[in-house]
Structure 1
């Protein structure tokens, strides 16, 4: 005896609603893409089986990922136990049924076409304590309703329930669910030809840099290299960025004239320190996590690229590029010109430069996370005093101060037009 009907129970792969545990390493959209690929692999295996009928019990709407030949049923019921029971009831066509989830893309036709003659039920357990399949000759709500779901003992509890009902149960091989980043990596390594495995490999080597930067802000270990693999100390001081402003920061901020715009504000230590001094300030960053951390400190921040329209353009008393943020975008000259547009005519542009006066490295960097993910190349520049002074000329900025403290180096600029007018007066 084999299952006459194969049922796949699944959620529509919508970002933020599926595979949320993958989001410790992947974005919501990437996690949803992995879920969609896993579902496609599962549906392909079911399509290849010898079953006479194929059913998708779906929460959400079907998309282009659904092949022809599947009868789609809407899930119903409150908890997962009730939805499973309802799926068996709604799919029943007088023949035995085998139900599988969307989280074991390594399914094979051989597993699905197993002969379970002499048994009343089939159960396939998963390594995390759940189960990947359940087969019943006919619907039986007693077999499912009330079994605790999504625990590390759901599979064992389900087996106990079936046996208490007097069912003769055939146990299938234990499989690994794709729930966590380590699960996804393991499945991709063991089953490289799967759609989900191919996508996983692409995502591993093409993470958005902002995603890995946000992981660093959350405390994960992230390192930077050049495209040639050489180490770049771009994130070496992330712990300092997350801490309150130190003595060197405060020395730099003592020169600021309000209001202040902090470009690339990170977790907000600079904006917070300025607020403590009573100086109005706004942080700007493209990282949602950086803006969140800044606002949690009670300081204002805006998520926006520096080249987009910003509030108060041409009226800021000071514009800051701390922590090597002169490298943003890999074009220091362009960034300095943008700062000159943002600051008022007599305002200050304060730049932290690399301590190596002669450094002028416009090469992109790549971020690497402990979990194995690496980013696509991030346009960046590492520049010392000489290169920044050269770029400042094209931005009509005149250096007014150059100082060092605590192993860090800074330059202060004012508009060259404003400086000439001041000297003339």
Structure 2
């Protein structure tokens, strides 16, 4: 009978599964890590063994079964922590150590017969390894092996063989490190805890999270609730670039100070600042505000409905890049803009080039790995619909122009 060791980190937000945070929040990534750890511990518990050990970085929690002995991880790097785990768990029986990132492992894999071998090694598809078995502790088998590379598994195998070990190789498994990994494992093993949680999370993302992922370069598309494509995020690259000729033509109409509603990564506020025009961006995305301030332009994390600085004193309020759609109630949004400008101020709205477009259906943001947001109230409007809503909001059109396949309207009270 072997001693089974699980080397694990406490599933604490921000401390585990950071690569999952390209699509999941730190709290969601930690929840997936906890589910993966629970699946791993369940498979280990179902495997007959002499002793069960968790080599833990952090504190225990309700996820830990009572029959596991806990030893604290020690050492500076993963290679030293692995060596320490074998030393601290050893009680005279062969030891098989697994990580917490392959929840699809099974008792059949863990109870493999390695009689006649000195060590056992299970490689992962990303170049690492998911298990290592040793008959006795041996620091020289581990310390100095490069960890967390795409050749760690190969290097570990070479080290064992260089020391004269006869190694039995187990089937390769896939680590759950990235959103793609999580999606593949969830699809292949739907019965796992982590798979069931992943399925729930796939349909419950906050739209702001996926918008921020788009600003980070993750491919995100928008569809209607019926699945039809909506080109709402097709110009993220343009939003992140410096203001172009069409932007500058629109900004030439602005009277300072300027409030940019839904400022995104800040190209408009930055362009205004470069012209010496006082401007402020507001957005509900933390990443958008960070990107704007990183450019040296001021931005505020706040929804347009909340109290804003200088209400009733702005020379211009901007709704660029289709931001007339914010909230899905264009008349209410335009009324709010009218409240924000001074009596002689302007509201500048970028509208859809299709004059007849009048779509106020919600949209859903989706990633290429299948994660999707809950419905986001939105509107896509051409000139005719915006003119109708503006009239109801007490705004009078003063200018209508087009350039580079983009269309704009200017209003005053």
- The TM-score, its normalising length taken from structure 1, stands at 0.89
Deviation at 1:123, TM superposition (A): 1.8
Contact 1:25 1:371 in 2 (8 A): no
The corresponding residue for 1:319 is 317
Query: How many angstroms apart in 2 are the aligned matches of 1:123 and 1:354?
Result: 59
The corresponding residue for 1:246 is 244
The corresponding residue for 2:69 is 71
Deviation at 1:220, TM superposition (A): 4.2
Secondary structure of 1:345's match? strand
Query: How many angstroms apart in 2 are the aligned matches of 1:43 and 1:69?
Result: 11
Deviations 1:312-363 (A, max 9, x none): 2332221111111011111112222322332233322222222333332210
The corresponding residue for 1:105 is 103
- Is it true that 1:130 corresponds to 2:115 in the alignment? no
Query: How many angstroms apart in 2 are the aligned matches of 1:308 and 1:61?
Result: 41
Alpha carbons of 1:156 and 1:236: their partners in 2 closer, same or farther (altered >3 Å)?
closer
Alpha carbons of 1:13 and 1:283: their partners in 2 closer, same or farther (altered >3 Å)?
same
Query: How many angstroms apart in 2 are the aligned matches of 1:296 and 1:304?
Result: 18
Deviating more after overlay: 61-70 vs 375-384: 61-70
Query: How many angstroms apart in 2 are the aligned matches of 1:370 and 1:290?
Result: 21
In the alignment, which of 390, 403, 406 is matched to residue 405 of structure 1? 403
Alpha carbons of 1:8 and 1:265: their partners in 2 closer, same or farther (altered >3 Å)?
same
Query: How many angstroms apart in 1 are the aligned matches of 2:145 and 2:219?
Result: 40
The corresponding residue for 1:6 is 4
Query: How many angstroms apart in 1 are the aligned matches of 2:321 and 2:168?
Result: 62
The corresponding residue for 2:233 is 235
The corresponding residue for 1:35 is 33
Alpha carbons of 1:220 and 1:137: their partners in 2 closer, same or farther (altered >3 Å)?
closer
The corresponding residue for 2:149 is 151
In the alignment, which of 183, 192, 196 is matched to residue 194 of structure 1? 192
Secondary structure of 1:317's match? strand
Deviating more after overlay: 208-217 vs 128-137: 208-217
The corresponding residue for 2:343 is 345
Query: How many angstroms apart in 1 are the aligned matches of 2:115 and 2:224?
Result: 60
The corresponding residue for 1:389 is 387
Deviation at 1:275, TM superposition (A): 1.4
Contact 2:183 2:369 in 1 (8 A): no
Query: How many angstroms apart in 2 are the aligned matches of 1:390 and 1:129?
Result: 60
In the alignment, which of 193, 198, 203 is matched to residue 201 of structure 2? 203
Query: How many angstroms apart in 2 are the aligned matches of 1:77 and 1:374?
Result: 40
State the number of aligned residues.
413
Query: How many angstroms apart in 2 are the aligned matches of 1:307 and 1:66?
Result: 46
Alpha carbons of 1:395 and 1:73: their partners in 2 closer, same or farther (altered >3 Å)?
farther
Unaligned runs of 5+ in 2: none
Query: How many angstroms apart in 1 are the aligned matches of 2:72 and 2:273?
Result: 54
The corresponding residue for 1:297 is 295
In the alignment, which of 361, 365, 368 is matched to residue 367 of structure 1? 365
Deviation at 1:92, TM superposition (A): 2.2
- The TM-score, its normalising length taken from structure 2, stands at 0.92
Deviation at 1:394, TM superposition (A): 4.7
Deviation at 1:55, TM superposition (A): 1.5
Deviating more after overlay: 239-248 vs 95-104: 239-248
- Is it true that 1:86 corresponds to 2:84 in the alignment? yes
Question: Which runs of 4 or more aligned residues in structure 1 lie more than 6 Å from their structure 2 counterparts after TM superposition?
Answer: none
Query: How many angstroms apart in 1 are the aligned matches of 2:158 and 2:241?
Result: 52
Deviations 1:12-64 (A, max 9, x none): 22233222223334333333222222111101111211123221111112223
The corresponding residue for 1:170 is 168
Alpha carbons of 1:219 and 1:127: their partners in 2 closer, same or farther (altered >3 Å)?
closer
Secondary structure of 1:66's match? coil
Contact 2:9 2:57 in 1 (8 A): yes
